[in-house]
Amino acid sequence: MRSKGAALAAGAVLTLLAACTSAADDHAAGEHAGHPSSSATTSGAPPTPTPTTPAVANQLPGMPPVSDARNVYSDTGAGMLSAAARAARPLVYVPHNSGEVWVIDPATFAVVDRFPAGAEVQHVVPSWDMATLYATDDIGNTITPIDPVTGGPGPRIPVDDPYNMYFTPDGAAAISVAEARRSLVFYDPHTWQEQTRLVLPDCAGVDHADFTPDGRTAVFSCEFAGRVAVVDVPSRTLVRMIDMPVMHTHMGPQDVKLAPDGSRFYVADSDQGSVWVLDGAATQVIGELPTGPGAHGLYLSRDATQLYVTNRRDDSVSVLEANTGAPITTWTLPGPSSPDMGGVTADGSQLWLSGRYDAEVYVISTADGSLLARIPVAEGPHGLCVWPQPGRYSLGHTGVTR
């Protein structure tokens, strides 16, 4: 591990940019790593906001109230586990493009189980109520439920092209991010009957997402179109498309993360080697934060003061100040490595990441960025899930909780 914090602080400057929302011609989508594109009950009552913890106005009905508008992640601090999360066996689930999920004991770093979960498993996703995990198989068009108490899988459920999966903040719908269909498919999260679908013809490579503090607006990245799609959650309609200042269409916009204070969205862009910054209302691009080649995953420290950016073409993780994006340091892994997706442990002491191109999993100390373990797994590990996670409810992906 070597720190490049001083150099990063001197060189990475937030550059204000004008809005870039003009329409652009669709480009032929390149191959997503591991996925060729084609045309085809929260436990316990949520805290009541007080004058010292300002609420967010006009929240989505049914969404647990934001406890503190200054930090939408204030209920995801170290050890703040719901009853469902406390009941879970501490395990790390590693989905592979081979169709298997490997299970690692975080106490010993040993692989303790492995089971088939489809044709090409992309992510392991916590349900809204945190009572079930789902392994998403976009090629086989199924999700495999996993019981977090036992770590064992259940019968597969038919779902259309679940490359990724999110849940509306009110828990009313599961959203299959159907990358190959250029669509968002909304399902009843209990019966898995389709409710509706939103076709996004100009969002090739629809991929990752996050939501505004009020839960009414979602931002979805369009990896093969160099833009993002802004979606109205209550009506499930497209509000606008926002083009990135440089529209990469091979591995462009990737993970999306809301700043703790809700002032901005961060959008990692692999080919740009940077994080684009949108305003909090998701109307325009307002800046760029250079990080490193292959900028991909975005994860918050347990106290929500730091943002970790995984640079899978740079053997590194950039550490930024979570609300401003100011550079703090860079953690460098011994190469070759390809830090991709994962999550922070419940106590906040470790960052676990899949090594997408190197058939391994990395365990990184969040205290100093040192590599604690390098665990061999199968080819193509992807959306790794560390479980349990703190929080009152899950928005999906590999463990986006609030």
- DSSP string of 104-154? EETTTTEEEEEEE-SSSEEEEEE-TTSS-EEEEETTTTEEEEE-TTT--B-
Give backbone dihedrals phi and psi of 232, rounded to 5 degrees, phi first: -85, 120
Residue of 113, 112, 115, 154 whose CA lies nearest to 133: 154
pLDDT score recorded for residue 56: 87
Which stretches does DSSP call E strand in 147-263? 157-158, 164-167, 174-178, 183-187, 194-199, 206-211, 217-222, 227-232, 237-243, 253-258
| CA angle (109 as vertex; 106, 110 as ends), nearest 5 | 115
For residue 245, the model assigns a pLDDT of 98
5-22+63-401: CATH superfamily: YVTN repeat-like/Quinoprotein amine dehydrogenase (2.130.10.10)
- Among the listed residues 282, 286, 231, 223, the one whose alpha carbon sits nearest the alpha carbon of residue 257: 282
> So what's the pLDDT on residue 99?
97
Q: What is the largest CA-CA distance in the chain?
A: 53
Provide the phi-psi class of 319: left if phi over 0, else alpha when psi is between -120 and 50, else beta.
Answer: beta
Q: What are phi and psi of 357, to 5 degrees?
A: -105, 5
CB 392 within 8 A of CB 64: yes
Question: Other C-beta atoms within 10 Å of 209: how many?
Answer: 26
pLDDT for res 54? 66
Give residues with Cβ within 8 angstroms of 138, minimum separation 6: 35, 120, 122, 161, 162, 163, 178, 179, 180
Whole-structure pTM value: 0.88
CA distance 170 to 161: 23
Residue-wise pLDDT for 213-244, tens only, equals 999 999 999 999 999 999 999 999 999 999 99
Q: Indicate the pairing of strand 217-222 with strand 206-211.
A: antiparallel
Nearest to 314 by CA among 330, 290, 293, 340: 293
pLDDT of res. 252: 98
Tokens of 67: 């406890």
Q: Are 310 and 327 in contact (CB under 8 A)?
A: no
Task: Write out residues in the chain with pLDDT < 50, as ranges.
Answer: 1-52
φ/ψ of 210, rounded to 5, equals -155, 170
Q: Which amino acid is at 227?
A: R
Strand pairing class (164-167; 174-178): antiparallel
At 358, is the secondary structure helix, strand, or coil?
coil
Tokens linked to 168 = 């509306």
